[in-house]
């Protein structure tokens, strides 16, 4: 087994440990205790439930990964730290960089609304110039809400396709393998498509962009009636694309936030590289994920860079939506100005 495979296997094991531990915790702990703010970090708000996972991850890297594989850890909640495990202990000597979101979807999970996920992406080396498109392997593991117990784990190597297994979150037992299949639909009609508008700020801008897209599709006689699902979790959204539940996801907060800042307004709470470090899995399943310019995601492997992303279930949805959407986004400054 080469070291890339060995490291991915360890991260798969870590995912199941976190899923089991956090599932048990949310099943026995009140929402009030889970949702208590532990600290305000540069990269996000850290809740009590997040802090417990940080300790699990750091302990696992120290005991299970460091003795065998040298790596740098980039993780939400540690915006100013890049701990090194194994080897010489120096960043420049590490064999790999691992970027992790310990719990993506904290808010939905601690209120028992939706599953959360633990995400991990692996890149070779430890250069500060590493970016999302340097990720060669990734794994995402579901942390189901308290009333559920089935947890899906998906993983992929670049160019090797994706695999998935359904597990029992109570025990970590692997129950069955399955093949994720994105939707093959050629349009949005009667499917799910969502433009992220999780928070009060800039909802009107997001809606204006979506309405303009609908207007343009209608002018082409395209029946584009669709449903919306505001899943406040990037990896959860990508899973919905991977599983064939959603056809289009647009998280445009970062591009809108830049326009707001230029206009003298406060920035938005946006996605960061750790939120989308499992994008490789979606891509290996056939989902097409781009930035707001139609290019592959390539943000730095850090915890603070704002990221916008657009996910298309297949090439037909992309061909239908992308030309209009990218043209609309050229004028995002105007949409922001009109909202102020």
Q: What is the DSSP string of 264-295?
A: TPPPPP-B-GGGGTTHHHHHHHT-EEE-TTSS
Euclidean distance between CA atoms 102 and 53, whole angstroms: 6
Mean pLDDT along residues 138-165: 96
- Which of the residue ranges 41-50, 235-244, 277-286, 292-301 would you say has the lowest mean pLDDT? 41-50
Look at residue 117 and tell me whether its pLDDT is greater than 90.
yes
Look at residue 56 and tell me whether its pLDDT is greater than 90.
yes
pLDDT for 230: 95
Q: Which tokens is 3 given?
A: 């070291």
Q: Which tokens is 96 given?
A: 């790999």
Is 159 strand, coil or helix? coil
Confidence category of residue 182, pLDDT binned at 50, 70, 90:
very high
pLDDT for 36: 66
% residues pLDDT > 70 (the chain)? 94
Determine the distance from the C-alpha atom of residue 259 to the mean position of all C-alpha atoms in its chain, rounded to a whole number: 23
Mean pLDDT along residues 9-36: 86
Mean pLDDT along residues 118-130: 95
In the CATH scheme, what is the code of domain 193-339?
3.40.190.80
Contact 118, 104 (CB under 8 A): yes
Average pLDDT, the chain: 93
Mean pLDDT along residues 247-264: 97
Domain range list for the chain: 3-178, 193-339
Look at residue 31 and tell me whether its pLDDT is greater than 80.
no
Angle made by CA atoms 168, 173, 174, in degrees to the nearest 5:
90
Look at residue 16 and tell me whether its pLDDT is greater than 80.
yes
pLDDT for 45: 60
Look at residue 35 and tell me whether its pLDDT is greater than 90.
no
pLDDT for 159: 95
Neighbours of 116 (CB within 10 A): 31
Mean pLDDT along residues 281-300: 97
pLDDT for 110: 86
- What phi and psi values does residue 11 have, to the nearest 5 degrees? -70, -30
pLDDT for 33: 67
What is the DSSP secondary structure assignment for residue 90, as one 8-state letter?
Answer: -
Residue given tokens 């100013």 in the structure block: 80
Angle made by CA atoms 195, 324, 330, in degrees to the nearest 5:
85
Euclidean distance between CA atoms 197 and 207, whole angstroms: 8
Euclidean distance between CA atoms 37 and 244, whole angstroms: 35
- Asked whether this chain's domains 3-178 and 193-339 adopt the same fold, the reply is no
- What phi and psi values does residue 133 have, to the nearest 5 degrees? -80, 5
pLDDT for 52: 78
- What CATH topology corresponds to 3-178? Fructose-1,6-Bisphosphatase; Chain A, domain 1 (3.30.540)
Beta bridge pairs of residue 99: 74, 121
Mean pLDDT along residues 196-201: 91
Euclidean distance between CA atoms 99 and 122, whole angstroms: 7
Q: How far is CA 177 from CA 15, 25, 158, 245, in A?
A: 16, 26, 20, 19
Confidence category of residue 312, pLDDT binned at 50, 70, 90:
very high
- Residue-wise pLDDT for 70-82, tens only, equals 999 999 887 678 9
Give the best-scoring range by mean pLDDT among 30-34, 53-57, 185-189. 185-189
């Amino acid at each position: 087994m080469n070291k890339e495979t060995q490291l991915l296997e360890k991260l798969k094991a870590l995912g199941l440990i976190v899923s089991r531990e956090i599932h048990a915790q949310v099943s026995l702990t009140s929402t009030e205790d889970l949702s208590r703010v532990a600290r305000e970090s540069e990269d996000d708000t850290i809740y009590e439930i997040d802090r417990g996972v940080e300790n699990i991850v750091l302990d696992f890297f120290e005991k299970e990964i460091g003795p065998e594989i040298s790596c740098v850890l980039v993780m939400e909640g540690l915006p100013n730290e890049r701990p090194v495990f194994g080897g010489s202990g120096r960043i420049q000597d590490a064999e790999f960089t691992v970027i992790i979101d310990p719990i993506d979807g904290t808010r939905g999970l601690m209120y028992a609304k939706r599953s959360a996920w633990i995400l991990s992406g692996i890149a070779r080396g430890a250069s500060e110039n590493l970016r999302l498109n340097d990720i060669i392997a990734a794994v995402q593991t579901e942390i189901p809400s308290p009333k559920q117990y089935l947890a899906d784990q998906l993983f992929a190597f670049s160019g090797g396709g994706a695999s998935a297994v359904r597990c029992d979150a109570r025990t970590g037992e692997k129950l069955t393998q399955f093949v994720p299949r994105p939707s093959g639909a050629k349009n949005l009609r009667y499917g799910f498509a969502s433009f992220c508008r999780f928070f009060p700020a800039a909802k009107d801008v997001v809606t204006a962009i979506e309405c303009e897209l609908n207007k343009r599709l209608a002018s082409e006689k395209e029946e584009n009636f669709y449903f919306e699902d505001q899943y406040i979790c990037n990896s959860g959204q990508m899973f919905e694309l991977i599983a064939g539940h959603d056809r289009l996801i647009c998280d445009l907060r970062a591009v809108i936030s830049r326009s707001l800042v230029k206009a003298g307004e406060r920035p938005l709470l946006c996605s960061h590289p750790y939120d989308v470090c499992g994008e490789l899995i979606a891509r290996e399943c056939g989902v097409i994920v781009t930035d707001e310019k139609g290019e592959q995601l390539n943000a730095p492997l850090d915890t603070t860079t704002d990221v916008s992303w657009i996910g298309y279930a297949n090439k037909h949805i992309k061909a239908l939506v992308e030309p209009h959407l990218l043209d609309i986004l050229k004028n995002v400054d105007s949409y922001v100005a009109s909202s102020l």
